[in-house]
Amino acid sequence: MNQNYVDELLAWAQVIFAFLMLVGIFALVGMLVFLHANMTPTALTIVTSVVTALVTIFTLMMNFFYARQRPQALPDPSTTTTTTTTTPTPLVVPPGSQVVHAPPPPAAIITPPPPGVLPT
């Protein structure tokens, strides 16, 4: 089985599953809104708990769908690819000049002792 086919099949399965979860959530919320007056307190508590659980599951599912690792896509053979090469800039010294480099930094910075303290 081709890897691209498997990836596309997985993507479609995720979209369909997410759509079914959303339909279920909206159906239960609609039931809560329109049938709220006819429901017993026990049924109201159960439906509210189920909606809360479904919304939590849907949120975690979306997090997984967007955060999972995906394989590297193959480039389209009909497009051209460009590569960037970096060439170092040559050092240009005008005639009659010389290149002067900065002196090396000191090994340690020595500060004079504060007044009144004898050096050791």
* 61 closest CA partner among 119, 108, 8, 15: 15
Q: What is the pLDDT of residue 71?
A: 65
- What phi and psi values does residue 59 have, to the nearest 5 degrees? -65, -45
pLDDT tens digits for range 64-110: 887 776 666 666 667 776 777 888 877 777 888 877 777 777 777 77
Q: CA 79 to CA 83: how far, in whole Å?
A: 13
Mean pLDDT of 31-54: 89
| Surface-to-core class of residue 88, CB atoms within 10 Å of its CB (0-12 exposed, 13-18 middle, 19+ buried) | exposed
Q: What pTM, to 2 d.p., does this model score?
A: 0.49
Q: Which of 65, 74, 59, 106 has the alpha carbon at shortest distance from 2?
A: 74
Q: Render 43-59 in DSSP notation, one character per residue.
A: HHHHHHHHHHHHHHHHH
Name the residue with higher pLDDT: 91 or 19. Answer: 19
